[in-house]
């Protein structure tokens, strides 16, 4: 055998080996192995329990369970419903408590969990049940390996990050659960999944709430408006630039979350859904942990009301920067993208507005556009407390609505800082960039905002009266008078309050109905100065320290170490009750920091998760030291000792895994000049 023949033989053997290995490791093969070991003793041949034979070949088992109606399900569910684990009856039958979806339990007529209690063998382990669930999520394919079994086995053996707790499902509505989806350390994924509603009737949605993993980048809910996504396969889809739901002309955005958020739509408005509508669930999830697997979950509570209740339909839009070919150049500081966006012939009545960038985003602003094309009033400021939080940007609400006349539109602008030596372009991962203004609005003639603007969840018993708008409506409930709710008159407890206002334009009544929680008053806190550390007694849910009446960013613990002279107070919150201490005079001796005149200092990204890069450019040789302090003034990290450095660009990696989330201060000292910069660990 010559060298060529030997090489050909080795290639053939290698190819055959890998083909055989891939086939042996297919997910269906793995699931068949589980069924053979733990189910086939009762589910074999003509005498199979429940008429379900799980003893055959992969193809036979597949044909027996996938898209096959269960003979014992009371709701006519399929044994395996591709893409929908929580409507797959077989998964319910093998569940041993692992799955806590509201409809995951069996009724008395549907029998007991399999294997039955009398089974003498080994029941299915959690990682085996999980493999079935993830296989269903991926579309229950007969061939291929779409599910990473190793990561499931590792999670159920070694553990990982803590999953979020399942919230209670709404009494008037329903709950959708996406997850858990297992994300490997340092991985970043984006998925989409079709979800059929299958409701008994058409509904209006007046409130929609999502709770999701803290590390999530975004979750967007879309609704197919044409064809119900019939051109898209069932099962979890990997999302890319050219198969993203935002580019599907048949899908409209319902709402988007960049953090857990409860959207209570204004009275008189609602989303309108048909009973046979199909939603598209779009999750972008990074896992910033270097060592732990993340089980990513999203729970969506959907609150409904009868069709015809709302006066106006709530709409939502993602307003992208028009060119997807923008480039943020290397070493760019506050690089600007700005453009107008028109609203056509429809008048917009804005209810809320937010923004979206990736990690280079450092500011975001939106203005009304004047008829002559210039900027009018600013309606959105992305910077809050001194920085733009790209990962969890805030939302501004307009209650009453903010009207944008037809064909007038807005002007939006984003600033980006790129401290790296490489250009950054548009893309889906957080290493790329985006620029999106997010709005929710009604069209046409506006309706009045009915209710209490910016309603909170709880109010203190000694809080000021809540004033319902507009005046002239009818109020009912404990502690109400005229158009006001008086917490002191209602007393501690939960109170159902409604306010109805007749809108002459639409010729309809608009009713705002709230459950208002009134909580007991709390004692006024006191401040003690113990060797330069300010402390307050008591155990409260939250704290905020103030210097000369101004909130101190990040000073949210029950103690604070002042770094400057002034009058300090602390505000404390408990169950909706906010109260403030008397002022404490503090005198600090020393020299205040001065800004650097010979260096530019960048932190990338900021906010960050686990680590960031610190980069600065020296215009001349200098003595440099870098350290990080917490909000109490304590040093938590020495990044660079005092040393002499040459002119040029210098970069450090700050490993912050040992630090809790929160606000810190980066202190850069160059030739005796000190620069303090706020950085945020998420």
pLDDT tens digits, one per residue of 264-312: 999 999 999 999 999 999 999 999 888 899 999 999 999 999 999 999 9
Q: What is the mean pLDDT of the chain?
A: 87
CATH number, span 316-443: 2.60.120.230
In CATH terms, is domain 599-681 a member of 2.160.10.10? no
What does the DSSP assignment read for 442-484?
Answer: EESSPPPP-B-TT--SEEETTSPPEEPBSTT-EEESTTEETTE
Report pLDDT for 668. Answer: 86
Residues 6+ apart with CB under 8 A from 226: 249, 250
Burial class of residue 15 in the structure, from the number of CB atoms within 10 Å of its CB (0-12 exposed, 13-18 middle, 19+ buried):
exposed
pLDDT higher than threshold 60 for residue 19: no
Q: With beta carbons less than 8 A apart as the criterion, state whether 281 and 298 touch.
A: yes
Q: Which range has the worst mean pLDDT, 230-234, 448-452, 619-623, 673-677?
A: 673-677
**Count of C-beta atoms within a 10 Å radius of residue 624:** 19
Given pLDDT bands bounded at 50, 70 and 90, which one contains residue 595? very low
Please state whether the peptide bond connecting residue 115 to the residue before it is cis, i.e. omega within 30 degrees of 0: yes
The top-scoring range by mean pLDDT among 8-12, 94-98, 492-496 is 492-496
Given pLDDT bands bounded at 50, 70 and 90, which one contains residue 560? confident
Query: What is the average per-residue pLDDT within 236-240?
Result: 91
Q: Which range has the worst mean pLDDT, 19-28, 95-104, 267-276?
A: 19-28
Report pLDDT for 129. Answer: 95
Given pLDDT bands bounded at 50, 70 and 90, which one contains residue 15? very low
Given pLDDT bands bounded at 50, 70 and 90, which one contains residue 32? very high
Given pLDDT bands bounded at 50, 70 and 90, which one contains residue 554? low
With 0.85 as the threshold, say if the pTM is over it.
no
Report pLDDT for 499. Answer: 97
Report pLDDT for 40. Answer: 85
Query: What is the average per-residue pLDDT within 648-671?
Result: 83
pLDDT higher than threshold 70 for residue 17: no
Report pLDDT for 362. Answer: 92
pLDDT higher than threshold 80 for residue 599: no
CATH 2.60.120.310 in the chain is located at: 173-311
CATH 2.60.40.2360 in the chain is located at: 599-681
d(CA 180, CA 178): 7
Report pLDDT for 631. Answer: 67
pLDDT in tens, 388-423: 888 889 999 999 999 999 999 999 999 999 888 899
d(CA 579, CA 536): 13
| Sheet architecture: strand order including 484-485 | 466-467, 484-485, 480-481
Q: How many CA atoms lie within 13 A of 569 on its CB side?
A: 12
Burial class of residue 57 in the structure, from the number of CB atoms within 10 Å of its CB (0-12 exposed, 13-18 middle, 19+ buried):
exposed
Q: Which range has the worst mean pLDDT, 43-52, 465-474, 563-572?
A: 43-52
Give percent of the chain with pLDDT exceeding 90.
55
Report pLDDT for 592. Answer: 43
Report pLDDT for 591. Answer: 39
pLDDT higher than threshold 80 for residue 563: no
pLDDT in tens, 439-452: 999 999 999 999 99
Query: What is the average per-residue pLDDT within 43-68?
Result: 89
Structure tokens at 64: 């027996």
Q: Which range has the worst mean pLDDT, 521-525, 590-594, 641-645?
A: 590-594
CATH 2.60.120.230 in the chain is located at: 316-443
Report pLDDT for 589. Answer: 63
Report pLDDT for 674. Answer: 73
Q: With beta carbons less than 8 A apart as the criterion, state whether 668 and 596 touch.
A: yes
Given pLDDT bands bounded at 50, 70 and 90, which one contains residue 606? confident
Q: What are phi and psi of 584, to 5 degrees?
A: -120, 120
Q: Which fold has domain 173-311?
A: Jelly Rolls (2.60.120)
pLDDT in tens, 148-179: 999 999 999 999 999 999 999 999 999 999 99
Report pLDDT for 23. Answer: 45
Query: What is the average per-residue pLDDT within 425-442?
Result: 92
Report pLDDT for 210. Answer: 96
């Amino acid at each position: 055998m010559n060298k060529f023949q030997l090489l050909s033989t080795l290639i053939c053997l290698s190819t055959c080996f890998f083909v055989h290995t891939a086939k042996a490791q297919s997910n269906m093969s793995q699931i068949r192995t589980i069924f053979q070991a733990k189910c086939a003793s009762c589910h074999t041949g003509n005498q199979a329990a429940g008429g379900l034979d799980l003893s055959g070949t992969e193809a036979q088992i597949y044909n027996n369970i996938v898209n096959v109606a269960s003979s014992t399900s009371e709701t006519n569910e399929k044994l395996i419903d591709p893409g929908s684990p929580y409507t797959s009856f077989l998964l319910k039958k093998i569940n041993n408590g692992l799955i806590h979806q509201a409809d995951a339990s069996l009724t008395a007529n549907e029998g007991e969990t399999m294997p039955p209690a009398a089974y003498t063998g080994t029941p299915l382990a959690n990682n085996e049940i999980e493999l079935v669930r993830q296989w269903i999520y991926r579309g229950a394919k007969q061939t291929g390996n779409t599910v990473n079994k190793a990561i499931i086995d590792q999670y159920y053996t070694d553990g990982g990050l803590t999953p979020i707790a399942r919230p209670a499902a709404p009494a008037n509505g329903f709950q959708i659960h996406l997850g858990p989806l297992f994300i490997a350390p340092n991985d970043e994924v984006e998925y989409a999944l079709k979800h059929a509603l299958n409701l008994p009737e058409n509904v209006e949605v007046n409130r929609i709430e999502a709770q999701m993993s803290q590390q999530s980048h975004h979750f967007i809910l879309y609704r197919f408006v044409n064809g119900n996504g019939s051109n898209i396969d069932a099962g979890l889809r990997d999302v890319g630039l050219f198969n993203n739901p935002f580019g599907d002309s048949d899908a409209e955005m319902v709402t988007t979350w960049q953090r857990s958020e409860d959207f209570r739509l204004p009275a008189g408005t609602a989303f309108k859904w048909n009973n046979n509508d199909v939603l598209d669930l779009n999750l972008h999830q990074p896992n910033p942990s270097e060592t732990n697997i993340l089980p990513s979950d999203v729970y969506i509570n959907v609150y409904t009301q009868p069709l015809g209740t709302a006066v106006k339909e709530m709409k939502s839009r993602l307003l992208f920067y028009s060119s997807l070919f923008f480039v943020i150049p290397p070493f760019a500081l506050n690089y600007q993208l700005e453009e107008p966006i028109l609203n056509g012939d429809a008048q917009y009545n804005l209810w809320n507005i937010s923004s979206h960038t990736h990690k280079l985003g450092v500011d975001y602003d939106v203005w009304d556009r004047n008829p002559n094309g210039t900027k009018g009033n600013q309606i959105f400021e992305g910077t809050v407390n001194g920085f733009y939080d790209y990962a969890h940007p805030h939302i501004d609400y307009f209650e009453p609505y903010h009207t944008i006349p037809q064909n007038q539109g807005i002007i939006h602008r984003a600033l980006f800082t790129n401290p790296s030596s490489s250009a950054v372009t548009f893309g889906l991962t957080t290493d790329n960039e985006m620029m999106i203004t997010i709005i929710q609005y009604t069209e046409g003639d506006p309706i009045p905002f009915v209710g209490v603007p910016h309603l909170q969840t709880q109010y203190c018993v000694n809080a000021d009266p809540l004033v319902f708008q507009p005046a002239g409506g009818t109020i009912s409930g404990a502690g109400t008078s005229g158009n006001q709710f008086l917490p002191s008159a209602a007393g501690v407890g939960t109170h159902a309050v409604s306010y109805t206002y007749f809108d002459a334009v639409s010729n309809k009544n608009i009713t705002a109905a709230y459950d208002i929680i009134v909580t007991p008053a709390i004692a006024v806190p006191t401040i003690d100065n113990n060797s330069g550390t300010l402390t307050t007694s008591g155990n409260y849910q939250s704290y905020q320290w103030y210097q000369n009446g101004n909130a101190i960013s990040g000073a949210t613990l029950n103690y604070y170490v002042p770094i400057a002279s002034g009058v300090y107070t602390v505000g404390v919150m408990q169950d909706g009750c906010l109260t403030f201490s008397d002022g404490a005079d503090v005198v600090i001796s020393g020299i205040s920091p001065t800004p650097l005149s010979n260096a530019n200092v960048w932190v990338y990204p900021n906010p960050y998760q686990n680590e960031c890069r610190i980069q600065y450019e020296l215009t001349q040789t200098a003595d440099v030291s870098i350290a990080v302090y917490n909000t109490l003034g304590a040093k938590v990290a020495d990044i660079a000792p005092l040393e002499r450095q040459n002119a040029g660009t210098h970069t450090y990696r700050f490993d912050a895994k040992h630090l809790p989330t929160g606000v810190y201060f980066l202190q850069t000292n160059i030739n005796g000049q000190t620069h303090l910069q706020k950085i945020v660990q998420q």
